[in-house]
């Protein structure tokens, strides 16, 4: 009897130690698990390029990341409309950016290069922010629907509720939401 009781106490003690080690391991790895979950639900790639372009063009890094997320989920792709790369730039917009930026060697295939695509997309975002006096809502609406549309909707004074196209209104709301999430989740990576 005494042997069985002793054995039970030893097994219970061993189980408690194992449980304690397991809990400690889980708590110690929770940061790793949280990072994996963040990467799956809110991916971030090319943060070095994003930080550099944010600094060069005075555009919020979390806004750039949020536009990339909304446009491509950080995957290089081409849309049915011909928009290419991480920031989904159309060939027409790319040619306009090249002229505005003084470039002379652009080739359409360059939009598949993350460095060039983020550079061009951030340049365009910067131009739109300037055009609309820093109004992120108007600039994002123009990035999605085009400046001609945004000018007809009220331009620099545009608010989210005044965007008549549901798709564009949802796009702008999503980007603004993701901008906050990127700033909170990846502050260090984005240079905050």
- Round the average pLDDT of the chain to a whole number and report it: 87
Containing domain of residue 124, as a range? 47-185
State whether 65 and 28 are in the same domain: no
Is residue 6 pLDDT above 60, yes or no?
A: no
Q: Specify if 191 maps to a domain.
A: no
Q: What is the pLDDT of residues 138-157, one digit of tens each?
A: 999 999 999 999 999 999 99
Q: Same structural domain for residues 37 and 54?
A: no
How does pLDDT run across 20-55, given as a tens digit for each residue? 445 555 555 555 545 555 556 899 999 999 999 999
In this structure, the number of other CB atoms found within 10 A of the CB of residue 162 comes to 13
Phi-psi region of 56 (alpha: psi -120 to 50; beta: other; left: phi over 0): alpha
Measure CA of the first residue to CA of the last residue in the chain; give whole Å: 65
Tell me the pLDDT band of 5, cut-offs 50, 70 and 90. low
Q: How many domains does the chain have?
A: 2
**CA pair distance 88, 112, nearest whole angstrom:** 10
Task: Give, as one character, the DSSP assignment of residue 113.
Answer: S
The answer to whether residues 62 and 148 belong to one domain is yes
Residues 55 and 122 in one domain: yes
- In this structure, are 9 and 67 located in the same domain? no
Residues 6 or more apart whose CB falls under 8 angstroms from that of 158 comprise 132, 135, 137, 138, 141, 150
| pTM for the full predicted model | 0.80
Indicate which CATH number applies to the domain containing 61: 1.10.530.10
Do 22 and 107 lie in a common domain?
A: no
Q: Check if 167 is active-site.
A: no
pLDDT in tens, 55-93: 999 999 999 999 999 999 999 999 988 999 999 999 999
What is residue 142's predicted lDDT score, i.e. its pLDDT? 98
Q: Which of the residues 71, 127, 167, 189 is marked catalytic?
A: 71
- Residue of 66, 88, 91 whose CA lies nearest to 76: 88
């Amino acid at each position: 009897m005494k042997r069985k009781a002793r054995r039970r106490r030893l097994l219970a003690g061993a189980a408690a130690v194992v449980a304690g080690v397991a809990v400690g391991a889980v708590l110690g790895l929770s940061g790793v698990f949280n990072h994996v979950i963040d990467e799956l639900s809110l991916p971030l790639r090319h943060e070095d390029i994003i930080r550099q372009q944010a600094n060069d063009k005075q555009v919020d890094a979390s806004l750039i990341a949020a536009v990339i997320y909304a446009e491509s989920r950080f995957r290089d792709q081409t849309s049915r409309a011909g928009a290419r790369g991480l920031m989904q730039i159309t060939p027409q917009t790319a040619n306009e950016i090249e002229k505005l930026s003084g470039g002379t060697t652009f080739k359409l295939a360059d939009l598949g290069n993350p460095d060039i695509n983020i550079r061009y997309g951030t340049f365009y975002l910067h131009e739109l922010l300037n055009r609309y006096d820093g109004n992120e809502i108007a600039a994002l609406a123009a990035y999605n629907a085009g400046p001609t549309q945004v000018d007809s909707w009220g331009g620099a004074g545009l608010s989210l509720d005044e965007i008549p196209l549901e798709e564009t209104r949802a796009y702008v709301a999503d980007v603004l939401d993701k901008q906050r999430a990127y700033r909170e989740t990846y502050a260090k990576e984005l240079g905050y």
